[in-house]
Amino acid sequence: MARTSTLTDLEAAALAQVAEKGGATSYAVARAFAQSPAEYWSGSAGAVYPLMERLLKRGWLQANAGAQGKRKRTQYQITDAGRQELEGWLGDVAGAAGMGMDPLRTRLAHLGNLPEAKRREFLNSVRAELVAQSAVPAWPDDQRLQALHASWLANRIAWIDQLERVL
Amino acid sequence: MARTSTLTDLEAAALAQVAEKGGATSYAVARAFAQSPAEYWSGSAGAVYPLMERLLKRGWLQANAGAQGKRKRTQYQITDAGRQELEGWLGDVAGAAGMGMDPLRTRLAHLGNLPEAKRREFLNSVRAELVAQSAVPAWPDDQRLQALHASWLANRIAWIDQLERVL
DNA sequence: CACCACATGTAAATGGTTACATGATTCT
DNA sequence: AGAATCATGTAACCATTTACATGTGGTG
């Protein structure tokens, strides 16, 4: 029942955005990525515009080509097939339980290459940076995402505090 | 003082491997990635062989071309410049405090697209999968990495347990 | 009108991926 | 000797990236 998804995570996130807003343009989707505190995706036009076309061609989005004005202005909406695909991706437990790409964890795995003093300093600095991030609401306009992000940060800080024993 | 690194995370991890083992072939580095439980990098030859060449050309690795037998068999070692570069990457606090790419977090952000019942089921399944992973030592041969990985898993499970309040 | 922010793309480069080819070594 | 496995690559493809080009609508 693995139902391994045919969507990249960026595609899935874009699809989810369209679903949640009940329709969006490529620009709106790109802007949302660009403004998110997650630095992993740039939210560049070069990524998003072709991506939306792909989703359209695969039948997961439909285009209400609202040619308002003279320039093309494509409003996308999710289709039933798209919703199904999205649910498949959301429910992909194996994918969700994967390790992903964690810049802190990757560094911790190789921290032995740093002298003891620098190791401590590094951990202290990262911890301080995370605390600083906690002080600034990342999504002032979305309470759920804000709460999720806050809990992620808090958990990360807790991890660092526990690490002393491991290192 | 940001010292933003010129290394990709894969390059840095490869460099660190060479440093820790006191020298390695491209094959050894690739195999290490392939065997790691982190699924994010495939550890494919197509990634690693060219990568090692890049690091060599930039002066961060040196090649002891032990032409043993008839086929090329290149043993790489880290240079002083490479060590410095690696330390720069390791100490990059801004990078380490970033969000990276977390397949669970990405899904949680869009879990509203799933009906309530499926949401619970999803969380339960992911939690169970993480618990299952905890039972199998991921690095039987490296106690430090094993401990780090175990603490990562434990922390992740704790996060899921706390999420009930957020969702 | 001039300018600037908003919006819609395209082009070239990058750093990965999978799949393939093939040489060398070890096992039966 | 033949087969399996270890090892070293290369080729084609892919989803991104950065940088650029350009149209459009509102504001001084």
> Which of A58-67, A139-148, B29-38, B115-124 is predicted with the least confidence, judged by mean pLDDT?
A58-67
* pLDDT 10s digits, A100-111: 999 999 999 999
A76 DSSP β-pair partners: A24, A63
* pLDDT 10s digits, A58-97: 999 999 876 555 667 899 999 999 999 999 999 999 999 9
A100 CB neighbours in chain B (<8 A) are: 40, 100-104
Interface test with B, best of A7, A142, A145, A152 (most B CBs within 10 A): A152
Mapping DSSP onto H, E and C, the string for B24-53 reads ECHHHHHHHHHHCCCCCCCCCHHHHHHHHH
Nucleotide with the nearest C1' to A48 CA? D16
Residue A134, min C-alpha distance to chain B (Å)? 12
- Which pLDDT score is estimated for A164? 83
> Which amino acid belongs to residue A131?
V
pLDDT band of residue A1 (cuts 50, 70, 90) is very low
> Which amino acid belongs to residue B12?
A
Asked if the Cβ of residue A100 lies within 7 A of any atom of strand C, the reply is no
Nucleotide with the nearest C1' to B48 CA? C16
Dihedral-angle region of residue A138 (phi above 0 means left; psi in -120 to 50 means alpha; beta otherwise): alpha
- Which pLDDT score is estimated for A165? 79
Mean pLDDT of B61-71: 73
Asked if the Cβ of residue A45 lies within 7 A of any atom of strand C, the reply is yes
* pLDDT 10s digits, A111-159: 999 999 999 999 999 999 999 999 999 998 899 999 999 999 999 999 9
Residues 29-48 of chain B in contact with strand C via CB under 7 angstroms: 41-47
Asked if the Cβ of residue A71 lies within 7 A of any atom of strand D, the reply is yes
Q: How far is it, in rounded angstroms, from Cα B109 to Cα A16?
A: 9
CB B15 within 8 A of CB B61: yes
Share of chain B above pLDDT 90, in %: 86
CB A98 within 8 A of CB B39: yes
